[in-house]
A = this chain, B = another copy of it.
Amino acid sequence: MVNVAILGFGTVGSGVAEVLTKNGGLIDQRVDDLLRLKYILDVRDFPDSPYKDCFVKDFSVIENDPEVDIVVETIGGAKIALDFTTRALKAGKSVVTSNKELVATHGYELLQLAKEHGVSYLFEASVGGGIPILRPLTSCLAANELTQVTGILNGTTNYILTRMIKAGLTFEQALKEAQDNGYAEKDPTADVDGHDACRKICILAALSFGQHVYPDQVPTEGIRNVTLEDVAYADSCGYKIKLLGRCIRQPEGKVCAFVAPHLVPASNPLSGVEDVFNAIAVTGNAIGDVMFYGRGAGKLPTASAVVADVIDIAKDLKRDHRNEWGPGATDLVVSPDIITSRWYVRAQAPVDQVRLACGDIQLLARAGAPAGEVAFLTAAMTEPQIKDKLQSLDVRSRFRVLD
């Protein structure tokens, strides 16, 4: 018998309970043991829940019960969740989580703590929702030196951009629609400003390159500055605007990581990833490019990933299931200033002035462009170089092109 406790009966926590129940028979078969949901911790009462006998309000009940083998943390945030995760690991219980904020900010120390206590800390659901990505990175691609990870990591912003592209909605209209459909929070900051994608690229960078990358080391730009004009110009040259999290291996073990809107060419499979779907492209020195695609959020998809981690631990409680990476460092993460790419620019300026400033450019057209508006793609250069060239121009938008 393997006993599980769920912390937090919100969307993901209740999804985990549902999957454990619905697929209980096949899960027990795969674990080759009985997996039992023993506790659910929540401050609220759920008198009508089918799990009503499992609810407790005091974490120490779980912490002190030697029968509990695996704790599923689906509280979110980095305060109570940090406290409970720390205490669970110290009590010799493995912890599984979907909490990207906690992993991105405290992953290294929690992995160390798990190691010290001979237990596991797994977090497949923290990136890409249900998409299998972390375990493939560390096992199926283990024969590779990984060089790059590029992902559409946030479903909310991808939904908003898709609606701007396909339905011609403005950012504000598309955000409102996303909120009405439950795809965006009332306070959409974490999604719209790229913080959620930032946490996920930190986790991907740590697993791919072996050292903790902290969110505050990663330059992050959201999608508030993407306009319908930009969407139309991008479309005219066969590109889609996507919010990408990227990490790129650098010499001497350094890492370049950033989050920003990009123009993605139609030939890149990331350009076809629409609505709330996520996709993560990984480049390795043997495999070349692979891509993982699916629902990046949602109750049951996320629960699917959480329960996969639970099964993995439960199959062999004594086995070493550790993800592991080294500590971060202030000089580990290098600025994306070194990455050259072509640039998309929209400006209010005469074409002659633009050519004088930027040299060889590819002009773009859109229906209904006002007099004096110009949009173009540049040759490949770094961000300081393009900034320098554009300084005399009235620039309205500037995004990288993913080549």
Who on chain B is nearest to A319 by CB? Answer: B319
Asked if A56 CB lies within 8 Å of chain B CBs, one says no
In Å, the complex CA distance between A126 and B311 comes to: 25
Asked if A87 CB lies within 8 Å of chain B CBs, one says no
Given contacts A140-B308, A308-B142, A319-B319, contact A303 B290 (CB under 8 A): no
Q: Are B272 and A19 neighbours in the complex by a CB distance under 8 Å?
A: no
- Select which of B26, B142, B287, B301 is within 8 A of A288 by beta carbon: B301
Distance from A22 Cβ to chain B, minimum over Cβ atoms (Å)? 7
In the assembled complex, which residues on chain B have CB atoms less than 8 Å from the CB atom of A290?
Answer: 130-132, 292-295
Given contacts A132-B136, A269-B269, A290-B293, contact A142 B30 (CB under 8 A): yes
Who on chain B is nearest to A272 by CB? Answer: B272
Who on chain B is nearest to A133 by CB? Answer: B140
Total interface residues on A, CB under 8 Å, equals 49
- Max count, chain B CB within 10 A of own CB: residue among A30, A132, A289, A307: A132
Asked if A339 CB lies within 8 Å of chain B CBs, one says no
- Select which of B144, B288, B308 is within 8 A of A141 by beta carbon: B308
Asked if A312 CB lies within 8 Å of chain B CBs, one says yes
Q: Are B295 and A287 neighbours in the complex by a CB distance under 8 Å?
A: yes
Given contacts A293-B269, A293-B290, contact A312 B139 (CB under 8 A): yes
In the complex, per-residue mask of A260-303: 1 if CB is within 8 Å of any chain B CB, else 0: 00000000010011000000000011111111111100101101
Distance from A196 Cβ to chain B, minimum over Cβ atoms (Å)? 20
Asked if A259 CB lies within 8 Å of chain B CBs, one says no
Distance from A309 Cβ to chain B, minimum over Cβ atoms (Å)? 9
Q: Are B143 and A303 neighbours in the complex by a CB distance under 8 Å?
A: yes
Q: Are A304 and B26 neighbours in the complex by a CB distance under 8 Å?
A: no
- Select which of B286, B295, B311 is within 8 A of A143 by beta carbon: B311
In the assembled complex, which residues on chain B have CB atoms less than 8 Å from the CB atom of A301?
Answer: 286-288
**Restricting to A110-164, which residues have a CB under 8 Å from any CB of B?**
124, 130-132, 135-136, 139-145
Distance from A263 Cβ to chain B, minimum over Cβ atoms (Å)? 17
Q: Are B287 and A130 neighbours in the complex by a CB distance under 8 Å?
A: yes
Distance from A83 Cβ to chain B, minimum over Cβ atoms (Å)? 27
Given contacts A143-B303, A308-B141, A311-B142, contact A291 B288 (CB under 8 A): no
Asked if A23 CB lies within 8 Å of chain B CBs, one says yes
Asked if A305 CB lies within 8 Å of chain B CBs, one says yes
Asked if A27 CB lies within 8 Å of chain B CBs, one says yes
Q: Are A300 and B288 neighbours in the complex by a CB distance under 8 Å?
A: yes
Distance from A19 Cβ to chain B, minimum over Cβ atoms (Å)? 5
Distance from A266 Cβ to chain B, minimum over Cβ atoms (Å)? 9
Q: Are A141 and B145 neighbours in the complex by a CB distance under 8 Å?
A: no
In the assembled complex, which residues on chain B have CB atoms less than 8 Å from the CB atom of A130?
Answer: 286-288, 290
In Å, the complex CA distance between A269 and B306 comes to: 25
In the assembled complex, which residues on chain B have CB atoms less than 8 Å from the CB atom of A298?
Answer: 288
Distance from A146 Cβ to chain B, minimum over Cβ atoms (Å)? 10
Q: Are A294 and B286 neighbours in the complex by a CB distance under 8 Å?
A: no
In Å, the complex CA distance between A142 and B30 comes to: 7
Who on chain B is nearest to A320 by CB? Answer: B316
In the assembled complex, which residues on chain B have CB atoms less than 8 Å from the CB atom of A312?
Answer: 139, 142
Q: Are A288 and B293 neighbours in the complex by a CB distance under 8 Å?
A: no
Given contacts A130-B287, A288-B300, A301-B287, contact A143 B294 (CB under 8 A): no
15 contacts between A and B (CB under 8 A): A22-B285, A23-B144, A23-B285, A27-B142, A132-B140, A135-B135, A135-B140, A142-B308, A142-B311, A143-B303, A143-B306, A269-B269, A286-B307, A288-B294, A289-B294
Closest 10 CB pairs of A and B: A132-B140, A143-B307, A290-B294, A286-B304, A291-B293, A132-B136, A287-B304, A130-B287, A286-B300, A272-B272
A-B contact sample (5 more), CB < 8 A, given A27-B143, A124-B140, A132-B136: A132-B141, A135-B140, A139-B312, A288-B298, A290-B293
